[in-house]
Amino acid sequence: MTIAFTHLDRIYIDGAWHAPGGGSDPVINPATEATFAHAPVANVDQVDTAIAAAREAFDNGPWPRMSMNERADVMADMARALRARQSQIAELIIAEVGCAQPITHGMQVDNPIRLLEAAIGHARRDEPERLPITITPNAFAPDGPQAIGGTTVVREPFGVVSAITGYNFPFLLNLAKIGPALLAGCTMVLKPSPFTPFSALLFGEIAEEIGLPKGVLNIVTGGIEEGQLLCTDERVDMITFTGSETVGASIMAQAAPTLKKVHLELGGKSAMIVREDADVQRAAGMAAMMLSVNAGQGCAIPTRHLVHNSLRPAFAATVAAIAGQLKIGDPADPSVAMGPLIRESQRAKVEHYIKLGHDAGATLLCGGKRPDGLDKGYFTELTFFDDVTNDMQIAQDEIFGPVGCIIGFDTDEEAIRIANDSRYGLNGAVETADAAKGYEMALQIRAGSVALNGGTGMMSDAPIGGYKRSGIGREYGPHWIREYQHEKSVFYPIGK
């Protein structure tokens, strides 16, 4: 079977394709464990060259000097080119990530392109801001004539950006860096996860097709050493990273000596609160379906289910029934609802946490093992534990697999306290018949987003990001490009 983009055997630097200095690596389909392609691996010298290209394109190239509308026109070409390849991108993600088809087509491919289109619209409206005229005292002679003047705040591209991304929603994560950074006028070196190289390299094809000036977008591959150079090199102004909390902390440390701006989108352990008055069937259905998304490998998926004790038996019965019916398998089959985990190491981690749950005294409701009849592929069952207490490790750590923790509560205050008793703060949910009360509770949850009664159903064009150890900064929404801009205030006098 030929999968789109897997013919890309070179890396993309300074507007040209280069043979990889680090050879090639097999790329494995996690549903079959078969190598479906070999991906080029960059070495540190090539990352160095890519940074030089991005620096030159920023300091002397046309891109940062173009108007916002001119850049938006080019990025609109990018959006069109991506739309034209939507089905091939989906096919690639199914092979690279093993994500089920309905989720892939909607959340992994269509939604990211929609968000880029929205960002282009916002960018076109990004005007300099004129602050009101002010009268200020004479700093040097208190009794002298006062000064009158105004300020215009202009926004300028931040500079050379290193973008480093994880594997779980690879096309989304890459586009979430490329879109706003390039619209803002920055130049970039992008390094994807070694598990999902093609979801990044494909942007080289797009850059060529739309005539992006050379050096504006460079795509390298590789592992930790290559990532480290992107975080330490003097010529890089900013790092934008999506990945785990641990690597995020390393990235901050690596960036510190050269004081780079660091934008981090990290992990989560989000809580869904199911109040006493909630529609328990609906809430349980949503909890199970969300946990199955990409086999639980989603940063914002609620994985702690805080359920009012009066509803807990009904909630538990419903999630277990849904889990029992969920079709797990190779997502090449369109009827499959949940695919595998990315690699054996991730499955081992999930199985380790399932054991920790047992050992801590939680009750296994459903799942907890490898599905029968699937001998190849890194599959695991949709798993729920009941009788979890929030101090258990399964309730505190990000497992990044389909493992849900049901935690009982008796009052709203207790629910909020448990929800906030986490080092993460990425997302949250409240299910209740009293929407106004739910809104008040949403305000008390320390997280970057909260879905009240299912919210909009999809991520709307809203800012998303973390409190606490879930990250620093925001992605998406009307001010998305601001992460990639400097603000400059120009003060001017009146009457001189």
Query: Beta strands 403-409 and 302-308: pairing type?
Result: parallel
What would the x/- binding string for ligand NAD be over residues 442 to 471, using CB under 6 A?
Answer: ------------------------x----x
Which residue in 247, 278, 336, 337 binds ligand NAD (CB under 6 A)? 247
CA–CA dist 282, 287 (Å, integer): 9
Q: Is there binding between residue 272 and ligand NAD (CB under 6 A)? A: no
Angle at 289 between CA 169 and CA 82, to 5 degrees: 30
Residue from the set 227, 329, 357, 428 that interacts with ligand NAD by CB under 6 A: 227
| Residue 407 within binding range of ligand NAD, rule CB under 6 A | no
Q: Which member of 199, 242, 292, 303 binds ligand NAD (CB under 6 A)?
A: 242
Please write down the HEC assignment for all residues of 384-443.
Answer: EEECCCCCCHHHHCCCCCCEEEEEEECCHHHHHHHHHCCCEECCEEEECCCHHHHHHHHH
- For ligand NAD, the binding residue among 116, 164, 217, 284 (CB under 6 A) is 164
What three-state secondary structure class fits 399? Answer: coil
- Which residue numbers are catalytic? 265, 299
Q: Which two tokens stand for residue 11?
A: 């890396």
Backbone angles phi, psi at 354, to 5 degrees: -65, -40
Give the chain's count of helices (H) and strands (E). 15, 24
Based on the shown chain and the rule CB under 6 A, indicate whether residue 345 belongs to the binding site for ligand NAD. no
Q: Note whether 396 binds ligand NAD by CB under 6 A.
A: no
Q: Which single residue is written with the structure tokens 């919210």?
A: 455
- Name the segment binding ligand NAD (CB under 6 A); options: 236-244, 326-334, 405-413, 488-496: 236-244
Q: Within 296-335, which residues bind ligand NAD (CB under 6 A)?
A: 299
Q: How far is the CB of 213 from ligand NAD (least distance, A)?
A: 26
Among 174, 193, 292, 383, binds ligand NAD (CB under 6 A): 193
Q: Does 111 participate in binding ligand NAD (rule CB under 6 A)?
A: no
Cβ-closest position to ligand NAD: 227
Q: Does 283 bind ligand NAD (CB under 6 A)?
A: no
Q: Confirm or reject binding of residue 41 to ligand NAD (CB under 6 A).
A: no
Interface with ligand NAD (CB under 6 A), residue total 33
By CB under 6 A, residue 267 contacts ligand NAD: yes
Q: Is 374 exposed, middle or buried (0-12, 13-18, 19+ CB in 10 A)?
A: middle
Residue recorded with tokens 């050879």: 23
Choose among 426, 246, 388: nearest CA to 304.
388
**In angstroms, what is the minimal distance from the CB of 325 to ligand NAD?**
27
Q: Are 275 and 410 in contact (CB under 8 A)?
A: no
Contact of 442 with 273, CB cutoff 8 Å: no
Beta carbon nearer to ligand NAD, 272 or 283 = 272
Residue located via tokens 């929404």: 477
Is the separation of the CB atoms in 393 and 344 below 8 Å? no
Neighbour count for residue 412 (Cβ, 10 Å): 19
Identified binder of ligand NAD from the candidate list 224, 259, 436, 443, rule CB under 6 A: 224
Binding site for ligand NAD (CB under 6 A): 164-169, 173, 191-194, 223-224, 227-228, 231, 242-244, 247, 250-251, 254, 265-268, 299, 398, 400, 426, 466, 471
